[in-house]
Amino acid sequence: MTAAYSMNRANLNPFLSAIAGDFELIAPVRTDIVRFEAVSDPAKICLDEQPFFPLKEFFFRKHEVILKFDGKRFTAPLKKAPKRVFFGVRRCDLNGVLHQDMVFSSGVADPYYAAQREDSLLIGFHCNEAPSEHCFCGSLDLKDFHDLMFFDRGEAYLVQVGSGKGAAFLKKFKKFFTASDYAVTDEDRFIEGVDKLKVKDISGVYDNPGWKPMVDACLSCGACTTLCPTCYCFELREVPSLQDESSERVREWSSCQLKEFTKVSGGFVYRESREDRFKHRIFHQLDYFKEKNGVNLCVGCGRCITGCPTRIDFVTGINEMKA
> What is the per-residue pLDDT across 218-230, written as a single tens digit (0 to 9) for each?
999 999 999 999 9
If asked whether residues 182 and 259 sit together in one domain, one would say no
Considering 131, 159, 189, which residue would you say is the last residue of a domain?
A: 189
Looking at the predicted structure, is the pLDDT value of residue 3 above 70? no
If asked whether residues 141 and 91 sit together in one domain, one would say yes
Looking at the predicted structure, is the pLDDT value of residue 243 above 90? no
If asked whether residues 50 and 146 sit together in one domain, one would say yes
299: pLDDT confidence band, cut at 50, 70 and 90?
very high
Q: Residue 322 has what pLDDT?
A: 76
If asked whether residues 32 and 179 sit together in one domain, one would say yes
Domain assignment of residue 201, yes or no: no
2: pLDDT confidence band, cut at 50, 70 and 90?
low
If asked whether residues 259 and 307 sit together in one domain, one would say yes
If asked whether residues 164 and 34 sit together in one domain, one would say yes
If asked whether residues 22 and 168 sit together in one domain, one would say yes
Domain assignment of residue 204, yes or no: no
- The 10s digit of each residue's pLDDT in 65-122 is 999 998 889 998 888 899 999 999 999 999 999 999 999 998 889 999 999 999 999 9
1: pLDDT confidence band, cut at 50, 70 and 90?
very low
Looking at the predicted structure, is the pLDDT value of residue 144 above 60? yes
Domain assignment of residue 241, yes or no: yes
What is the rounded average pLDDT of the residues 125-142? 94
Considering 154, 189, 224, which residue would you say is the last residue of a domain?
A: 189
If asked whether residues 27 and 165 sit together in one domain, one would say yes
Rg (CA), the chain: 21
Count: domains in the chain: 2
If asked whether residues 173 and 233 sit together in one domain, one would say no
Q: Residue 38 has what pLDDT?
A: 96
Looking at the predicted structure, is the pLDDT value of residue 154 above 90? no
Domain that holds residue 272: 209-319
Domain assignment of residue 148, yes or no: yes
Domain assignment of residue 289, yes or no: yes
If asked whether residues 40 and 122 sit together in one domain, one would say yes
If asked whether residues 13 and 76 sit together in one domain, one would say yes
Considering 160, 189, 218, which residue would you say is the last residue of a domain?
A: 189
Looking at the predicted structure, is the pLDDT value of residue 178 above 90? yes
- The 10s digit of each residue's pLDDT in 26-65 is 999 999 999 999 999 999 999 999 999 999 999 999 999 9
